[in-house]
Amino acid sequence: MTRRISILGSTGSIGVSTLRLLDEVGGDFAIEALIGGRNVDLLAQQALKYRPAITVLADPSQWSALRDRLAGSGLEIACGEDAVCAAAGRKSDLVMAAIVGIAGLKPTWAAAGTGAILALANKESLVCCGRALIERVEAHGGRVLPVDSEHNAIFQVLDVNQKDKVARLVLTASGGPFWGRSRAELGQVTVEQALKHPNWSMGAKITIDSATLANKGLELIEAAYLFDMPGEKIDVVIHPQSVVHSLVEYRDGSSLAQLGPPDMRVPISYCLGWPERVAWQAPKLDLVGMKTLTFAAPDESAFPMLRLAREALAAGEGMTTVFNAANEVCVQAFLDRRIGFLQIAEYVETAMMRAQLPSISSKDHTSRDMSVQGIAFALDIDAQVRRLVADLFFSARQHV
Ligand code: NAD
Ligand code: MG
């Protein structure tokens, strides 16, 4: 039977890898929706190759460019945020949710209401919506499969029927390009240096998040929601070789880990094949050639984002949204060379101290999972924090 697959963020790092893997292992599949942000050329090429039922570009100013590129193809196209959400909410069998940042929240939420398997790469939507996103997927008969390599590793080795026998989850972190540097040394790092990840090839936002360890902070929160585990039972260990992708430590003394080369196609292929494993020309681990695998405790004084993420998780869902929003604005400001590397964490910490969280009543909580109202809470906080951080940037400029 033909499987219908939608890809949200098809022109990004995860989206492109997903399409390549589908060529290799997808079996009988058809593309329902391809959704991109701004890259008209790549989206048009993908549309011509895969002939999706709908092709959507988020940026409305490029509507005519997309129309011209696809003229005469007979393909249905649309532009703008509403069209993105409508396409994401179309019936399909599997959705790869791989838009970056909070921009992914509404489309991922729409996809969560379709009953499809949700291969979730867009970690920011989970960090902001907590368990509501997972509950929405399950209430509609779907299933969340984590794409993030650490969570995919845990998903593969966690015995859900014996969760009470789990001592802790251990997330591994490469440490990024600046691992081993002191806080003083980090003051001078450049955007170019931060964009050079030693092991993984990824989009710009997550690459900066890896350099500050905010990525591991987001992953800590992601793990707590995905596996319904308290933050105290989730540890982070620096493992610069990125071979052990994460572990579950059981109370009987056994730790189960998933190993593999640092290549996102491995967890993506697991999601595409689930519940079976697919056979493809996957890169192999060379255990003997590897020589050493090392592990170290994270340095939270040089990399405070991990501590801040832990504090946000302890404070609750509203605060994880604050952490995410402030980080997203600061990463963009760093990429635009408006703030320095160390200022990312400084502004995030200030935003966490100053944000006014709306109180959510228990009624809001129970009505959260089913309707669009479910994400209004997160979107309100996100908007408030963006204004707050913009004001902080503005006052900082007045004082120089
Ligand atoms: P990327 O920047 O390479 O791609 C992002 C995609 O989102 C692009 O297709 C872009 O066009 C699209 N997009 C951006 N803004 C949009 C908008 N407003 N509306 C619709 N589409 C929009 O990012 P990536 O590295 O592929 O990461 C995607 C997500 O997966 C992120 O949340 C990231 O944290 C997560 N993730 C990525 C990796 C990785 O190895 N790249 C690993 C784990 C998790
Ligand atoms: Mg990861």
pLDDT in tens, 372-390: 567 999 999 999 999 999 9
- Residue whose CA is at the smallest distance from ligand 1 atom 18: 103
pLDDT at 363 over 70: no
194-213 per-position pLDDT tens digit: 999 998 889 999 999 999 99
- Residue whose CA is at the smallest distance from ligand 1 atom 8: 12
Q: Is the peptide bond before 230 cis (omega within 30 degrees of 0)?
A: no
pLDDT at 360 over 80: no
pLDDT at 399 over 90: no
Query: Chain centroid to CA 394: how far?
Result: 29
* φ/ψ bin of 214: left (φ > 0), alpha (ψ from -120 to 50), beta (otherwise): alpha
Query: What structural domains does the chain harbor?
Result: 3-147 (3.40.50.720), 148-311 (no CATH), 316-400 (1.10.1740.10)
Reduce the DSSP state of residue 285 to 3 states and report it.
Answer: coil
- CB of 369 closer than 6 A to ligand 1? no
Q: What is the pTM of this model?
A: 0.96
State the average pLDDT over residues 26-39: 96
- Residue whose CA is at the smallest distance from ligand 1 atom 38: 202
**CA distances in angstroms from 295 to 50, 218, 290, listed in the order given:** 43, 20, 14
d(CA 67, CA 53) in angstroms, rounded, equals 15
74-111 per-position pLDDT tens digit: 999 999 999 999 999 999 999 999 999 999 999 999 99
Which amino acid makes up residue 389?
V
> What are the start-end ranges of the H helices in 336-361?
341-354
How close is the Cα of 126 to the center of ligand 1, in Å?
A: 14
Q: What's residue 372's pLDDT?
A: 58
d(CA 53, CA 6) in angstroms, rounded, equals 10
pLDDT at 362 over 80: no
240-285 per-position pLDDT tens digit: 999 999 999 999 999 999 999 999 999 999 999 999 999 999 999 9
Residue 173's beta-bridge partner residues?
238
274-319 per-position pLDDT tens digit: 999 999 999 999 999 998 999 999 999 999 999 999 999 999 989 9
- CB of 14 closer than 6 A to ligand 1? yes
**CA distances in angstroms from 63 to 69, 78, 80, 203, 386, listed in the order given:** 10, 7, 9, 24, 27
Question: Given ligand 1 and candidates 7, 10, 11, 13, which is best to mutate, with the most ligand atoms within 8 Å of its CB?
Answer: 13
- CB of 11 closer than 6 A to ligand 1? yes
Q: What's residue 55's pLDDT?
A: 98
Higher local confidence (pLDDT), 349 or 362: 349
- CB of 146 closer than 6 A to ligand 1? no
105 touches 298 (CB < 8 A):
no
- CB of 264 closer than 6 A to ligand 1? yes
Of 218, 200, 220, 201, residue with least CA distance to 209: 218
- Residue whose CA is at the smallest distance from ligand 1 atom 31: 100
State the average pLDDT over residues 132-150: 97
> What are the start-end ranges of the H helices in 203-248?
204-212, 214-226
